[in-house]
Amino acid sequence: MAINKSLSHAAPDAVYLIRGAHKHSHSWCEVNASVPKELEWAIARGRYAGPLPISIKLIKRKKLLPFAWTTYFPVVTQAVLDLLTARQVSGWVAYPVALERSSGMEPRFALGITGRCERITFDREPKNLFPKIWCGKLALFARLLVDMTQWDGSDLFMAKDEKTLLQCSTQKVMQAFSDIKEPGITFEPVEEASLFVTSAQTNLQD
């Protein structure tokens, strides 16, 4: 992991990569097939300007947590929005959702991230990959790189280059959800975040 500390704002005490809960422990959603991927990305990045509410289908309802996830963005409850507002968390926008197969369920909202920094990506350079045991086998992983140049100070933020939908947060966001037993969102310190790239070869160099 690397954080570029040439900042527009003072560096936060900690930065976390946001991930969803384990896919087998909660519900997943999908956007109506008539919505192109470009609009889904616009929702995720807080730049959506299409019709509302956004039509979303619940495709798995094992456990509907406060955060339910589509491929690109979370679908959250009013309680989540209230918590973000009460804790003065910055860097987000909410879009009303029409959730199919949801008779009697509380309203949901698509959560877009409006905060920005310079770059968030995984370092896939072959020389920088590192080995780690994964599922009982040796595999190669890439470290997370967070370039905080031009960070706008938001608590929730993404890269401004629009090449990725990786989402990060400050410690304030992690602490806001620490008292909720199963929020459906996880926070991984960027120092520990990595991505599986490929199975390791037997001739790995130290």
For residue 183, whether the previous peptide bond is cis, meaning omega lies within 30 degrees of 0, is no
Q: How confident is the model at residue 10 (pLDDT cuts 50, 70, 90)?
A: low
Q: Say whether pLDDT at 65 is over 90.
A: no
- What is the pTM for the complete model shown? 0.84
Residues 45-65 have a mean pLDDT of 83
**Phi, psi values for residue 78, rounded to 5°:** -60, -35
Residues 116-132 have a mean pLDDT of 91
Q: Say whether pLDDT at 35 is over 80.
A: no
The dihedral built from the CA positions of residue 98, 102, 108 and 110, taken in this order, carries a sign that is negative
Angstrom distance (rounded) from CA 78 to CA 125: 41
Q: Say whether pLDDT at 173 is over 90.
A: yes
Side chain identity at 5, as an amino acid letter? Answer: K
12-26, 27-41, 81-95: which has the highest mean pLDDT? 81-95
Q: Say whether pLDDT at 201 is over 80.
A: no
| Domain spans, the chain | 2-199
DSSP category for residue 170: E
Angstrom distance (rounded) from CA 114 to CA 105: 27
Neighbours of 71 (CB within 10 A): 12
* pLDDT for the residue 27: 59
Q: How confident is the model at residue 110 (pLDDT cuts 50, 70, 90)?
A: very high
